[in-house]
Structure 1
């Protein structure tokens, strides 16, 4: 099947799943967790072959922009579907699934330059841990947005609508920090493996990614330490989570976008 056809089918399934969960959030339809998971899984089954096709285009030192975006969004969907069986995080699908579908549609038309170097096991570990870290922290970012909406609504005594559909505030907050802890472990593995297995983490084409990844690590480490020792929570936790995720987004995709799209360089 052609990549565009797979991307369109995945987008349709993702939009259908996100729409049902969104209507559940605003209490227009009853909760149907298995329906949302099933539609999300069908989208993922179209998503993964496209990711495999992009990865198989050649042996690259590090994936290009389109490959990285498709891989990271696919892993984010997979992680969300798995975690939703043990944690009440399915509301994140309302935003994550449309973003994953849109990423696929955009990535199909983007170039994916190769660097011409073999993908060693160490570099594969670095790439996979980076993608998983981004996936978990992207889920954490959407969880933070929902937590912020809930926090603001309760502060203004608005207890109807979306707030009624969300888990209790303490549960939402606990899940947020669990996601950040898991993402931090993988981000640490990504940074350490990069220093161990890449020739030079601060080479010209990797310097921005390395510096911004370290900056994101510091932001999340500060948030976790301050939550544990100083009791940071609520909107402060939301702002720091979103700030760290924005820096990580720039780290993973900012330099790739400039080099591959704006400057048309591999």
Structure 2
């Protein structure tokens, strides 16, 4: 890393940490966080995160989608989407989980590299498939985080705990649940488009080591599809929605990140 990138990394970490502490301290003390200050600090962190990531991702040899670049890019996209939701929904508290994920992704992408053959020439179809896949993954990652928050919030309500931390700092349960299904619907649409575009763009699944990833992605798509139909036809909600969401995302995580880890870090296949 260059000196400029090291400085940018430090400032980005300070911006992320500052936002996290500001949100946590205010919400624990039942005070309203400074919305503009929080969003501005997050935006600074995201801009510097992108500044560090882009040279590693877009190289003279082509696009480098190695494991750690993917982790960094995914975490950046996820926090960007969370910030976007925060501009018009009362979900600023979601950044308490989004920020640590972004910090982990930023450090992974900045400090480590994995063997990978950069994509010098790829068709528009495959390029679109990759972009849609990343977008779907990020939205569904946000849905998984939302499901965890919903579970914790619901648990506090049922067990009548003395200190209801998440009940106090998060929006009402119904609002949280509605937001979860908004995320799931958007993620499902993006995942559907990614799978369809991949089906017509990828020529040889076996040669490109994509069979396991495709199977797990389809299983994830079916899980989310069943949940959305269950919500529409039978009003599924609560713990069932949380369970389906986490199972669906786990399948996607194993297929998307797990397969890259095995291929690049264990089998050393670029």
Do the structures match in fold with TM over 0.5? Answer: yes
Distance 1:182 1:195, change over 3 A: same
Q: Residue 219 of structure 1 corresponds to which residue in structure 2?
A: 223
CA displacement 1:167-203 (0-9 Å, x = unmatched): 1111100000000100111111111111111213454
Rounded Cα–Cα distance in structure 2 between residues aligned with 1:149 and 1:142: 11
Rounded Cα–Cα distance in structure 2 between residues aligned with 1:98 and 1:16: 12
Matched, 1:184 2:199: no
Matched, 1:235 2:236: no
- After TM superposition, the score normalised by the length of structure 1 is 0.92
- After TM superposition, the score normalised by the length of structure 2 is 0.91
The answer as to whether partners of 1:27 and 1:165 remain within 8 angstroms in 2 is no
Q: Residue 135 of structure 2 corresponds to which residue in structure 1?
A: 132
Structure 2 unmatched ranges of 5 or more: none
Give the CA deviation at 1:119. 2.6
Rounded Cα–Cα distance in structure 1 between residues aligned with 2:122 and 2:52: 19
Distance 1:247 1:78, change over 3 A: same
Give the CA deviation at 1:19. 2.2
Count of equivalent residues: 265
Superposed counterparts of 1:1-266, under 5 Å: 1-2=2-3, 3-27=5-29, 29-57=31-59, 58-60=61-63, 63-108=65-110, 109-158=112-161, 160-266=164-270
The answer as to whether partners of 1:26 and 1:162 remain within 8 angstroms in 2 is no
Give the CA deviation at 1:217. 0.5
The answer as to whether partners of 1:66 and 1:111 remain within 8 angstroms in 2 is yes
Rounded Cα–Cα distance in structure 1 between residues aligned with 2:268 and 2:12: 28
